[in-house]
Amino acid sequence: MGKHVKQDAEKLGEDISFGLQQTLACWATDFIDPYVSNWFQAKYKVEGKHEGNLKHTWAGEIVGDSAAFFVFLGVQRYLPEPMHWFTRSVKKCLNPFYEWTGKKSLKSWADHHGLSEDSETYKHKLEEWKEFQADNFARSSVISVSSVAANVATQKAMGNTHKLSVITGSKLIGAAITMATMLGLRMAIPKTTKELDEELSARYFTPLIRKTQKMMGAKVEEPARHTHKDGEHHPHHHDEKSEYTHSLHVNDYPAVMVNSEELPVPDEILKYSQKIREEKKSPDPMMGKK
């Protein structure tokens, strides 16, 4: 039971990190989105029949962007299977694009380590890259769609009499720009954005979630702690051996960190670990853990 709560806390922490980043990006464009939406609605206005103003578009932006964050967390928490299916569908549909952009992104890494595209290490790395991008697209889509729906509902509730299609279209412009910006950054600097998600989660959100769970009486398993020679405890610390094991068997990331340098895992080891997983009938790590 404790382990399940721990996994839930870490997953929720990363979802909060991702959701907040996109929500902040949405808020950052709110200084112009209401004006663009108002202009779009005025362009298709029929005098005497349609009525809408900046008050409607501003309220729609603020409520929509804020509500989308909580809708996203709810979908991630209570609809994991549909989200998993959506992510797999995204990867399948956009696989040619991810294949092309992924190879470009990994070229310098592969050249640095002398790896060919036929090596198991390279294939694993590419699959992980595609999985990461597909997951980003799926999660970002949920936030964007939720934001548009909440925005339109808010404007309608406040008395905006424009056609539903016009209000929706006016919001889609800003949502598309925000989503493109977020996905573009995560595609251009995937390692940095992934580390940011994990760092914010580990440092702030996961500890806060665990404390809240304790206050509510839930059984919570604390993160592993390791004792150094100085006698101090350091959570999340790995020596070279444990980092190697963690990398290969937990995340199945085809590289290990040794003295802050990323080194590729030999193909023979990857093939052996895959053989062990098949013998144990464990799920393919490239299918993702949702």
Per-residue pLDDT at 224: 52
- The mean of the pLDDT values for the chain is 79
Q: What is the pLDDT of residues 58-98, one digit of tens each?
A: 999 999 999 999 999 999 999 999 999 999 999 999 999 99
Which positions ≥6 away from 275 have C-beta within 8 Å? none
Does 290 reside within a domain? Answer: no
Region label for 231, one of left (φ > 0), alpha (ψ between -120 and 50) or beta (otherwise): left
How far is it, in rounded angstroms, from Cα 106 to Cα 125? 8
Residue 267 and residue 135 in one domain: no
| CA 55 remoteness from chain centre | 32
Q: What is the pLDDT of residues 5-33, one digit of tens each?
A: 446 788 888 899 999 988 888 888 788 88
Per-residue pLDDT at 211: 84
Contact between 18 and 186 (Cβ < 8 Å): no
How far is it, in rounded angstroms, from Cα 19 to Cα 178? 13
Residue 170 and residue 279 in one domain: no
Token look-up 């934001």 returns: 147
Q: What is the pLDDT of residues 265-277, one digit of tens each?
A: 566 666 666 666 6
- Show which of 217, 250, 267 is a domain's final residue: 217
Residue 265 and residue 139 in one domain: no
Residue 266 and residue 180 in one domain: no
Contacts 24+ apart (CB under 8 A), 270-279: 270/120, 270/121, 270/124, 271/120, 273/248, 273/249
Number of domains observed in the structure of the chain: 2
How far is it, in rounded angstroms, from Cα 104 to Cα 106? 6
- Show which of 217, 249, 265 is a domain's final residue: 217
Per-residue pLDDT at 273: 66
Q: Determine phi and psi for 19, rounding to 5 degrees.
A: -60, -40
Cβ-in-10-Å burial (0-12, 13-18, 19+) of 65 comes to buried
Range of the domain at 256: 238-284
How far is it, in rounded angstroms, from Cα 88 to Cα 288? 9
Residue 86 and residue 46 in one domain: yes
Residue 208 and residue 249 in one domain: no
Does 226 reside within a domain? Answer: no
Residue 205 and residue 109 in one domain: yes
Q: What is the pLDDT of residues 90-145, one digit of tens each?
A: 999 999 999 999 999 999 999 999 999 999 999 999 999 999 999 999 999 999 99
Of 82, 94, 96, 129, the closest CA to residue 110 belongs to 129
* Helix (H) or strand (E) segment spanning residue 80: helix 80-93
How far is it, in rounded angstroms, from Cα 109 to Cα 111? 6
Q: What is the pLDDT of residues 220-230, one digit of tens each?
A: 655 554 444 44
